[in-house]
Structure 1
Amino acid sequence: MARVAATPDRVAYRYPVPVDEHAADGTPGAEQWRPMTWGQAAERVQHIAAGLMSLGIEPEQRVGISCSTRIEWILADLGIMCAGAAVTAVYPSTNAEETAFILSDSGSRAIVVEDAKQLAKILGVLAETPELRSVVTIDGSKPEGDAASAAAAAGVEVLGLSELEERGAAHLKDHPDEVTDAVAGIKREQLATLIYTSGTTGRPKGVRLVHDCWSYQAAAQSSLGLTDDTDVQYLWLPLSHVFGKTLTSGHIQQGSVIAVDGRVDKIITNLPVVQPTYMAAAPRIFEKVYNGIASKARAEGGAKYKIFMWAAGVAREYAETAQKNQIATGARTVPFPLQAKHAVADKLVYAKIRDAFGGRLRACVSGSAALAPDINFFFSGVGVHILEGYGLSESSAGSTVNPGEGYRVGTVGRPLPGTEVRIAEDGEVLLRGPGVMRGYHNQPEKTAEVLESDGWFHTGDIGELDKDGFLRITDRKKDMFKTSGGKYVAPSEVEGRFKAVCPFVSNILVIGNGRNFCTALITLDEPAIMQWAGDNGQAGRSYAEVCTSPETHKLISGFVDELNGQLQRWQTVKKFTVLPRDLDIEHGELTPSLKVKRPVVERENAALIEAMYEGSREA
């Protein structure tokens, strides 16, 4: 409300809309980016809130959202909270069984869904969601035939979002102060959001985040000075994930512009159009961009490839030298000869990379998993500054982040103001602060396992703090393993190093718990490896055939050898298998935030893993 009162006519959001449905050749038609002011957004939010109230939604009752990242997700989220209710975030990719569990466990009374596909999924689980009474479809989809009969029999009303807003507008004519009063009545400790962990094992747990969590995140982000009201942020991250959600809180505090479009396949196209000054992303995006650049240079061969490799080395050297000097002296300086080489490389290579990001990008924030330092140093030297941060669903995302000018590659920065970090005796990272959850929904025993009575939250991550207060995460506590020879291995460290040396890798899983050596399952980035395959005698083969070919195994073997040259003997990967397809969410191998579900991948590929150890002597 304060933001709207302060800047009602300032643009708050930009979002794509089709200019025409299809081009003459049948391809999707042109799009344009439409602005929405804070005042326009507030009107729609009020109508959504009032519409939900007209459906009987009461304070702290849960209303789900199952939708990709788009402007309507944000408006629905704000509308639900302005009604005094709480949002149950559901990934649109979540299968029917897990969706039913989340809606039932949360006791959700209504849900906003994106389209007919999401509607069909919800109507298919009505028997498992007895408290659900209303379904709102963003695209206006309605059930037909048996589906309509099933909804009616269950007492579930289905209406379009525009209908909900019309009802809300009519409701406000008779109850003009109802939404304002509901907002005024919200308490700091009132439930705002239930985000279900996409955890790599077991049933998801509902993380209870109250209004004070989001208010704290907004204030803490603003105090860092990383962004201001002149910024344009490109938001494509899943809003069902805590990382995406917390960005919207900071945006309201800052009063800047968010360009919203969750279509990952549109990122490269959108960047030059949106021209963001700020963007947040998961490491996989930066890895894919790096792999794409390196693969294109390799395919061009000759002088261009040599120039790129030289420029990449200069970028890393420049960034590492600047960081070392800043730590030692406080000044981010480099010697003149290196400055000169960097200036030449900038004209030949770096400027084109920055242009691909829109040309105005001041900083990116990376979170949800570790980014390989070599990749980060590369982008830093190029002038695309990636500030790694750290947080969990249980801490409403942001707990630490690297400062804008003094960021340190290889760390996740310092704690946000108001957040405390300490390292337990066994190396586990503990957090305490206003952003920490108030517990797991309906699971007091699970809550007690991770949340101490004095507010310290056990993250499950292993890390260390340096003398300047920068946090470095070394691995997940449960992922670290010991070889049969008694040596500890942090798999994420090895995996990160491999991603930096191999431009074709998509995912890698290092294995070796209780074994006498380490092995790895590797998947390859399809565009990168198929381009290489076409240039190396494998044209016409399918992606699966290329991945499993002897030629590809030989190619990847060279990168594994390069990796092993950087590792201790017990960390080295003795054998590896390239899988015939990439890991994905649909097969349950990745979480919606693109984290690898190790137990699932190991279970699915148990025979391949055993084959790599066949004939070896277990100590």
Structure 2
Amino acid sequence: MPVIHDTSFVDHLAPNMAVQFLDRVAASSAAEAFRFPRGEAWESVTWAQAGERVRRLAAGLLALGLESEQRVGIAAGTRYEWILSDLAVMCAGGATTTVYPTTNAPDVAYILGDAECRIVFAEDDEQLAKIRGHKNELPHLMKVVTFDGAADGDWVITMDHLAELGEKYLADHPDVIEKTAQAIKPEQLATLIYTSGTTGRPKGVRLQHRSWVYEGAAIQAQDILHEEDLQFLWLPMAHSFGKVLLSSQLACGFATAIDGRIDKIVENLGIVKPTFMGAAPRIFEKAHGRIVTMQAAEGGAKEKLFKKAFEVGIKVDRLKRDGKSVPLGLKLQHGLFDKLVFSKVRDRFGGRVRFFISGSAALNQEIAEWFNAAGILILEGYGMTENAAGATVNHPDGYKMGTVGPALPGAQVRIGKGDEVQIKGPHVMEGYHNLPEETAKAFTEDGWLRTGDKGSLDADGFLTITGRIKDLFKTSGGKYIAPSAIESKFKALCPYTSQFMVFGNERNYCVALITLDPDAMAAWAGENGMADKSYSEVVASPQVKEMVAGYVEQLNGRLNRWETIKKWEILDHDLTIESGELTPSMKVKRNVVEDNNKARIDALYAS
């Protein structure tokens, strides 16, 4: 059931992101481009308004002396100003270097220094302090532009000051932005994204203009998104997943509502009412868990109705996906449940969602089916920073649950030695910045990007990812274990889970460390007479241990004997980005967690 697309668009790509943006401004000048919170209200700007602001900021960068391919850092969370800054860098011929707002000061200094950034956009005083504290290590940095921080009028200036410099520069050079944009070659450096990694210093991934232009054009060619769509964007723009959604917007012309505050996602969905959103699996797991636990708390007839609705919904969904007819009785039941249950679930996400896009980690198939039963399609895709985020994606009219879809049109995916997924196409990186040996290791002898992921392709070209090769381990009994597959199953079973981490390399059985979601556990505590207890007290209670034990028992019933979890422990804290145990894209840094809990894991193997 592959969706076949014409790949001739690859021969007619815009030369760079600057031209792509300017073309979009010209084509859609009066249409809404961006929407963003200002206090309690949302402000909207057209493509023409955004274009004019970007022109002035880009001219300001040129007035400061920015030259072709010189790096400009952005140390900020996801917000409208981040996108303006990035587009201004593109239009000035520079290369954006991304810095997560959660990055510690020494790593910020390393990234800006390694990239030899000439200018940095810093969100606020917190980000400014990180840069100021390491100013002596940044000899190339000539100016800092702040969104909300305190400027000194010299080394640190405001966005408005930069725009004023640009306005003066444009008065003397009125067509400088158009000329600069036209001069940018497709192979010119557009972005340096430093991967957070799990060990050692982050590596700067060099992505060219053609990579981003191709990604957006590939989405447009598949007819997935259109000008009338509305995106809600919260993903970290410092991550390639966020950036590829921006390139898709430039290609397709839809509007985007932006707010990077994770705790506001569900609230914002109800206000913005988007037609689609990209997210990491953790967001869907959390939403699924919250809805399920809320219904369980209701109990009685409402809980029974809810469970029956999803039992029917999943049955109907599977019949449809298998191309089979739905019996009349089942169809009538489904219609009733859609009004009573599923419509209310859809309303929690704004009521207009055509689909969600899930990426950055594996999404459990059972959770995807649960959402689909409620009429919310989650299209899983796959990629990595080294190939500008998008390598494969499912299509609304041709998807397979449990897969990450076929390769984007104009690109290729193959399975190499050791079942490694390998990628080739216009989106693949130039290499790692200042790391020729690491770059060489990243490619096969015949030029394919090595992903480090284990997978398989079916007869229709749909890719299934079975785990990271380096995360696979072998028990002392000689059995290979893919921990991510076990972990994903537990998250689908237990709605209170935040993280479930399986260990057992060279051991005679598997163990797990478990963290529980603070929001879900706060609600559980209130319903079980423990509202006055702290999170650590709640998760250490006999009642919670008994509850979790029941879910572990259910999990073990679904596993091979050698995969079963013999012992486990609940941690007294959830994993966070700030603690260094999660990457900014919410992936678990398994080796960090294992090192931090070595004594605890060893104790689980004590006789």
TM bin (shorter chain): over 0.9
- Report the equivalent of 1:343: 335
Q: How does 1:288-327 map to 2 (within 5 A)?
A: 288-323=286-321, 325-326=322-323
Letter in 2 for 1:158: V
Which of 385, 409, 412 does residue 417 from structure 1 map onto?
409
Which ranges in structure 1 are unaligned for 5 or more consecutive residues? Answer: 19-30, 149-155, 327-331
Contact 1:439 1:451 in 2 (8 A): no
Contact 1:319 1:378 in 2 (8 A): no
Letter in 2 for 1:543: Y
Helix, strand or coil: the match of 2:114? helix
- Report the equivalent of 2:30: 9
Which ranges in structure 2 are unaligned for 5 or more consecutive residues? Answer: 1-21
| 2:596 aligned with 1:587 | no
Helix, strand or coil: the match of 1:207? strand
- Report the equivalent of 2:57: 48
Letter in 1 for 2:597: N
Give the distance between the partners of 1:315 and 1:74, measured in 2 at CA: 40
Give the distance between the partners of 2:311 and 2:108, measured in 1 at CA: 47
Give the count of matched residue pairs. 586
1:209-267 per-residue CA deviation (whole Å, 9 max, x = no partner) reads 00000110111010111111110011111100000000000101111111111111111
Helix, strand or coil: the match of 1:591? coil
| 2:430 aligned with 1:438 | yes
Contact 1:295 1:503 in 2 (8 A): yes
Shift of 1:454: 3.5
Helix, strand or coil: the match of 2:113? helix
Give the distance between the partners of 1:334 and 1:411, measured in 2 at CA: 24
Shift of 1:5: 1.5
Shift of 1:315: 2.6
Shift of 1:453: 5.0
Which of 155, 169, 172 does residue 174 from structure 1 map onto?
172
Q: How does 1:60-75 map to 2 (within 5 A)?
A: 60-75=69-84
- Report the equivalent of 1:404: 396
Which of 210, 219, 224 does residue 221 from structure 1 map onto?
219
1:299-355 per-residue CA deviation (whole Å, 9 max, x = no partner) reads 1111112222222222322323322x14xxxxx743333323322221221100101
Give the distance between the partners of 2:475 and 2:337, measured in 1 at CA: 44
- Report the equivalent of 2:481: 489
Give the distance between the partners of 2:415 and 2:326, measured in 1 at CA: 34
Q: How does 1:28-107 map to 2 (within 5 A)?
A: 31-107=40-116
Give the distance between the partners of 1:566 and 1:340, measured in 2 at CA: 32
Give the distance between the partners of 1:357 and 1:333, measured in 2 at CA: 29
- Report the equivalent of 1:463: 455
Shift of 1:534: 2.3
Give the distance between the partners of 2:432 and 2:329, measured in 1 at CA: 56
- Report the equivalent of 2:531: 539
The share of aligned pairs that are identical, in percent, is 53
1:42-78 per-residue CA deviation (whole Å, 9 max, x = no partner) reads 1111111110111111110000001111111111001
Letter in 1 for 2:489: R
Helix, strand or coil: the match of 2:390? strand
Helix, strand or coil: the match of 1:478? helix
Question: Scaled by the length of structure 2, what TM-score is found?
Answer: 0.95
Comparing 130-139 and 188-197, the one that deviates more: 130-139
Contact 1:140 1:162 in 2 (8 A): no
Contact 1:65 1:73 in 2 (8 A): yes
Question: Scaled by the length of structure 1, what TM-score is found?
Answer: 0.93
Shift of 1:592: 0.3
Which of 207, 210, 232 does residue 212 from structure 1 map onto?
210
> 1:90/1:245 Cα in 2 relative to 1: closer, same or farther (>3 Å)?
same
Give the distance between the partners of 1:98 and 1:337, measured in 2 at CA: 61
1:475-519 per-residue CA deviation (whole Å, 9 max, x = no partner) reads 000001111100011111000100110010001111111111111
Give the distance between the partners of 1:205 and 1:322, measured in 2 at CA: 45
Which of 509, 513, 517 does residue 517 from structure 1 map onto?
509
Segments of 4+ moved more than 4 angstroms:
none
1:352-375 per-residue CA deviation (whole Å, 9 max, x = no partner) reads 010111111101100000111110
Shift of 1:200: 2.2
| 2:159 aligned with 1:138 | no
Contact 2:128 2:149 in 1 (8 A): no
1:90-131 per-residue CA deviation (whole Å, 9 max, x = no partner) reads 101111011111111111111001111111111111122221
Contact 1:315 1:377 in 2 (8 A): no
Helix, strand or coil: the match of 1:141? coil
Letter in 2 for 1:9: A
- Report the equivalent of 1:124: 133
Give the distance between the partners of 1:420 and 1:564, measured in 2 at CA: 38
Letter in 1 for 2:376: V
